[in-house]
Amino acid sequence: MNRRQFIRTSAISSLSIKPIASSFARADSEIKSIEILNPQGRVPVSMIIDDSTALVNMAYYGIPQFAEVFPDNYKQDWRKLPREIPDSFVAEFIEWCDAHGVKGKYSMVPFPACTGWLHRFIPGWTNQELSNSLDLVRKDVSRNWDIHPEMISHTRVIDTKTGLPFPIVSPDFMENWEWSQEKSVDELTNYISYALNVLKESGFYCEGVTTPGGFCHKNIPNLASATMESIREVYDADVSHFFRDVITDSNKSVAPIVTAKRNIDSPNPSCSVHIIGCTADWFGGWDGLKPGNTENFITKDLSSGRMVEVIERGEPAIMVCHWPGIYYNGDKLGFTIFKEVVNRLRQKYGAGIHWMKLSEIARYWAAKEFVSFEEMQHGIQINAPYGAENFTIKSEIKFRKPALIHNNKTTSLKETAESDTMGQNTYVTKKGQTLLCFDLPKGKSELRNG
């Protein structure tokens, strides 16, 4: 099963993953009058872009490699596709997204379809063209988008000892299929670290990875641990995340899953967060040959659609697309659909949704998973192995002029009239409860009454 079939049909049992045990546990004395809300009390929304990289149209170069393994499944006339997705389109897309507050994840495949290396050169383009393309992603895309490797090539498995594709052409040596399914944590860590180091040498910072096709879909616990180990090894980040699965079944949760927990009660905790997409690619397909449909995301009357369904449930609503389909061979059909989806979401929800990068969602869910509270005489003591921006709680404790104290520094929270106007370091008192939004610091802190 290829990735495109997989993400359309899979409701993979990722929700049943058993996290690795940690010695950290919430104290029995934790007060039960605290409810952790979404950041700023708003529903996180994000956009995942797969199959993107510098210049190379992954569909053009990938289809003949996929067809060599499964000729009956890949009959697209790839020669009619453009070999390049130009930087001018990247700039146009990012400029529009920045203007509309859109955030998400953007892949940079390190060795795209085995054409050439981002940190060296790609045949068919000059070194200056590659340099300009990388600069565009580093300076403009990275502002509001996480950068992920999509393993190494997204096609053939690479021998990390030689940097060459294995000579065997079969599902067992393709990243999209069987090679990864029984690999150990150490073997996967070696492979993922190789990809990350290419991006690091290319000037990118990564806290997450994306899997190509069915990579590790039978091996998710090892993938989670390997993601954590490799991100920690290459970038020394304490919260890693990975995008592996899409769930479109309305009966299943798409909330992030915090797993691969290590040393949570120590000064150097680590964990991995499984980010789940909630839509199939209804923009323009992975090859840029299948027209999408705005109505699948949110209908014209704003009453229904998959995004509405997930947002109304209060879970992160994360759309999934492929870069060739957004460009749609120069017609930009996927981009047109995306703009309409964003506009409809704004019409329906306004400030009720909160665009976030995947790393921001992952860090918030990690903080939420492990934070503990203890009631004190003048407020609440907080113990947080991880910090997070715009951490938002609802408390039955009545606060008046609350302040956050951390490392002898006091940050006063400002009162706002309504919960839908909450921002950083604000609070709302309503119906005997207090909603508080603040940047949660790592370690111990206090929320005190003024």
Are residues 406 and 357 part of one domain? Answer: no
pLDDT at 33: 82
Predicted local distance difference test score (pLDDT) of residue 5: 37
C-alpha torsion angle, residues 367, 368, 369, 371 (rounded to 10): 70
Any alpha helices (H) in 328-400, and if so which ranges?
333-349, 358-370
Last residue of a domain, one of 342, 363, 384: 363
Distance, in Å, from the CA atom of 123 to the CA atom of 95, rounded to the nearest integer, reads 28
Angle at 381 between CA 275 and CA 398, to 5 degrees: 95
- Predicted local confidence at residue 376, as pLDDT: 86
Give one word for 113, left, alpha or beta, with left for phi > 0 and alpha for psi -120 to 50.
left
CA distance 73 to 1: 9
Residue 257 has which token pair? Answer: 């899953």
Same domain, 419 and 320: no
Examine residue 20 and state whether it is found in any structural domain, yes or no.
no
User: How far is residue 69's CA from residue 53's CA, in Å, rounded to a whole number?
Assistant: 23
Q: Are residues 119 and 239 in the same domain?
A: yes
C-beta separation of 62 from 111 below 8 A: no
Q: Which of 333, 363, 393 is the last residue of a domain?
A: 363
Tokens of 155: 């096609």
Secondary structure E strands in 104-179: 104-107, 145-148, 158-159, 164-165
242 and 386 assigned to the same domain: no
Judgement on whether residues 411 and 351 belong to the same structural domain of the protein? no
Distances in whole angstroms, Cα of residue 337 to Cα of each of 122, 305, 309, 321, 325: 31, 14, 19, 11, 10
Specify whether 245 is located in the same domain as 388: no
Q: What are phi and psi of 10, to 5 degrees?
A: -85, 130
Specify the pTM. 0.92
Strand ordering across the sheet containing 414-415: 34-36, 388-395, 433-440, 426-430, 414-415
- How many domains, in total, are found in the chain? 2
CA distances from 274 to 157, 209, 359 (A): 23, 10, 11
Token pair for 103: 């955030």
Q: Is residue 36 part of a domain?
A: no
- Domain contains 26: no
Count of C-beta atoms within a 10 Å radius of residue 99: 8
| Spatial distance between the Cα atoms of 130 and 125, rounded to a whole number of angstroms | 7
Q: What is the pLDDT of residue 31?
A: 58
Please check whether residues 216 and 271 belong to one and the same domain.
Answer: yes
- Confirm if 327 and 85 have CB atoms less than 8 A apart: yes
**CA dist., res. 82 & res. 103, Å (int):** 27
Residue 177 near residue 135 (C-beta atoms within 8 A): no
Domain-embedded: residue 38: no
- Look at residues 363, 380, 411 and tell me which one is the last residue of a structural domain: 363
| CATH number, domain containing residue 169 | 3.20.20.370
Instruction: Give pLDDT, residue 20.
Output: 24
3-state SS class at 58: helix
24: in domain: no
Contact present, 3 and 214 (Cβ < 8 Å): yes
Instruction: State the pLDDT at residue 282.
Output: 98
Q: Which residues pair with 208 in a beta bridge?
A: 241
Q: Does the residue 444 lie in any domain?
A: yes
Strand order in the sheet with 443-448: 372-376, 379-384, 443-448, 403-406, 409-412
Residue closest to 226 by CA, chosen among 177, 193, 268: 193
**415 within a domain of the structure (yes/no):** yes
- Taking residue 315's Cβ as centre, other Cβ atoms within 10 Å add up to 18
Whether residue 266 sits in one domain with residue 220:
yes
pLDDT in the model for residue 417: 81
The answer to whether residues 239 and 300 belong to one domain is: yes
Q: What is the pLDDT of residue 14?
A: 27
Q: At what angle do helices 87-99 and 127-139 cross, to 10 degrees?
A: 10
> Which domain covers residue 432, as residue numbers?
371-448
Same domain? For 334 and 386 the reply is no
CB count within 10 Å of CB 269 equals 19
Q: How far apart are CA 228 and CA 359, in angstroms?
A: 13
CA distance 350 to 368: 25
Token pair belonging to 447: 């929320």
Number of other CB atoms surrounding residue 446 within 10 Å:
17
CA 110, chain centre distance (Å): 18
In a domain, 35, yes or no: no
Q: Which residues of the chain have pLDDT under 50?
A: 1-30
Looking at the fold, whether 206 and 275 belong to one and the same domain comes out as yes
Distance between CA atoms of 103 and 99, rounded to whole angstroms? Answer: 11
Please check whether residues 226 and 251 belong to one and the same domain: yes
